[in-house]
Structure formats: C-alpha cells, structure tokens
Amino acid sequence: MLNIKIEKTKDPKVLPGTDNPLKFGTIFTDHMFIMNYESGKGWYDPRVIPYQPLNLEPSAMVFHYGQEMFEGLKAYKTDEGRTLLFRPEKNIERANKTNRRICIPEIEEEDFLQAIKTIVKVDDAWIPTKEGTSLYIRPFIIATDPFLGVRPSDRYLFIIILSPVGAYYPEGLNPVKIWIEDEYVRAVKGGIGEAKTGANYVASMKSQVKAHEEGYSQVLWLDGIERRYIEEVGAMNIFFKINGKVVTPELNGSILPGVTRDSVLCLCREWGIPTEERKISIDEIYEASQSGTLEEVWGTGTAAVISPVGQLRWEQNIMQVQDGGIGPVSQKLYDTITGIQLGRIKEEHNWTVEV
C-alpha cells in the first residue's frame, strides 16, 4: 500500500467542451502521479501533483542511453457514471517484464494499480463521456542519474499522465492502408522487441515517414533476419482471417504481447472460430490474397481497439482485402470489446476493474 500525498492544482484548466474532437494525445489533465526511486532506498515519495514540466539535469541518463519504459491503457465512463479500467493487471505485469528486460527496478503490482486508480480518481472530471471517447493513461519510467557512462541508472522517476481521447475513427471503423517494410527492421529475437520502450519506436520512425510519403498510414514489420515472416504493425498486433481461420504471429520474443491481442484470441476461441498463433510468411498472405481466401485483416491495440486493414502493399504488389471494407469478425470483435470496456456487455472474464 502506498501512502500517496495529494496536492491539488490551484489553477485548474478549462475542461474540453463536448464538441472538442480530443485529438489523440494532445490534451493533458490537471494532475500527474509521480514517485522516485533510489538504489538502496527503493521507490519512495508517491504523490499526485499539478501537471507540470519536469526539472532534470541535461546529463540525466534517459537522454543519452534511452533507459525508459512506458505503458498505455484506458479508463472508460459507463452509462451509469462508473469508471472502468480494462485488464489493468495485464499492463502492470507487462510493465514489470519490460522493467526486467531494460534493468529498471520493478514496481509492486498492487502499488502500480493503486497509483493508476488514485490519479484517475483525482482527474475523474476529465474522463469524457461521448460515444467512443475515453481517458488514455500513460505510465512511464525514466532513468535520471546525472551520468554519461553506460550502466543502469541508480535513480528513476515513475510518472503517470492522463489524456482525454476521442473516438479513434470518428466516422466509424475505417480500413487503413498498410505498407509492408522490406528495407528496415524493427526488432530481432534477443533484442527488445517484446519490451514496451521508446527505443523500439525510434527504430521505426524512418520507415513510418517513408510509408506516409507513399500514402500508407502504418508499417507492417517483417522478421529481422529473413524478412519473410510477419511480426506486427507500428503500435498494433496483426490478425488475418484466411479461409475461415484466424491466424496471428506467435509471441516469438520480438513482438509486443498486446493486451488487445490476447483478448481477441480469447473471444475468437470462445466463439468457436479456429485460431492459430504461428509463423506466417508474407508469401502465404500474398497467395491467400491472390486465391481470394484472405477474408479479413485487422490490427489490435489499446488506442483503436480493432483497426480493419483494407489494403497491404508489399514491394510492387498491392493486396486488397474484402474490397477495402470491414469484415464481420472485425466488426463483432470491436463491438464486443468496446461493449465490455463500457460495462454494457456482461462477461465472465472479469476483464474490467472499477476505479
């Protein structure tokens, strides 16, 4: 149990109006959670303070060697005004897995959840209620030792900030166009691909820019060695429905284990849809698209939940999925998961946690 001190802002911001589109990640709430770490002392001084800039030395290790981790989850307002988190224990478990991989000290799971619930409660008024909106929660840890040598830091800051976000697709589920990257790679086995850390994103930017220039909104990564097996998309895991079967790449060490991915696999199995987690080559996808058995493609992630894919571009080949529309399984997954998140659908998994 943390003893969290709460210092409320004396200068509250004006809440965004109901007509504000809440563009993803642009608006921040009045408060933030922060806690320090020091070797020999452990995590200490957990507190909620007004949202404000950090005061760090330019020599802080995070700026030079990238020792940082982050998580992403959401809080939802139900029709009765309750606040729900979706499977937060999965994010917390994954946070500590990331921490172990990049030598950041772990945080007690109960303390982590308590910190999330506390900051969400303090900024409860910021949780938007319009259809499709939610409060995005961004916990992260940075290394703060003022030191220009390479080793794990002895000091860290754990921070949670909050951002009200709008519907990812204000006009409904819109299929995205995806660029299959064959020049750059994101991660290799033994690397940090399965850790949620900024370094994986900086590795992906060059390709993202290239894809945007070509008119594609996201990049699909192939494996770093043979450039032949499907890994994942930018910040989403990827699913294919081929000839009645739902397939997704197995967690091989270089893919981020998404909470949405896990939820989709679980629901498909419950619905009696055959599912497989295995290696999927790009040739298999190309052949399926040529033979007309590539029925649906969708990405999964906290931000968009389900993101239907309408087109894939691989070298000079353009693969169309279902005439660019939304498939029935993608739509049912989206409706079910968002229904559970909003407390509208009863479920036995206990996937929602009340704040």
Ligand X SMILES: *Cc1c(COP(=O)(O)O)cnc(C)c1O
Residues forming contacts to ligand X in the complex (CB under 6 A) are: 72, 196, 200, 232, 235-237, 256, 258-261, 300-302
Cβ nearer to ligand X, comparing 219 with 285: 219
Cα–Cα distance measured from residue 248 to residue 259, given in angstroms and rounded to the nearest whole number: 14
Sequential DSSP letters for 92-136: HHHHHHHHHHTTPPP--HHHHHHHHHHHHHHTGGGS--STT-EEE
- List phi, psi (to 5°) of 34: -145, 145
Residue nearest to ligand X (CB): 258
Q: Quote the least distance from Cβ 192 to ligand X, whole Å.
A: 11
Cβ nearer to ligand X, comparing 117 with 196: 196
Cβ nearer to ligand X, comparing 122 with 219: 219
Which tokens is 283 given? 């040739």
Q: Quote the least distance from Cβ 300 to ligand X, whole Å.
A: 6
CB 46 within 8 A of CB 110: no
Cβ nearer to ligand X, comparing 102 with 236: 236
The CA radius of gyration of the chain, in Å to the nearest whole number, is: 21
Q: Quote the least distance from Cβ 330 to ligand X, whole Å.
A: 15
Q: Quote the least distance from Cβ 129 to ligand X, whole Å.
A: 22
* Rounded (10°) angle between helices 109-122 and 88-101: 120
Q: Quote the least distance from Cβ 175 to ligand X, whole Å.
A: 19
Cβ nearer to ligand X, comparing 48 with 230: 230
Residue 202's contacts (CB-CB under 8 Å, 6 or more residues apart) are: 66
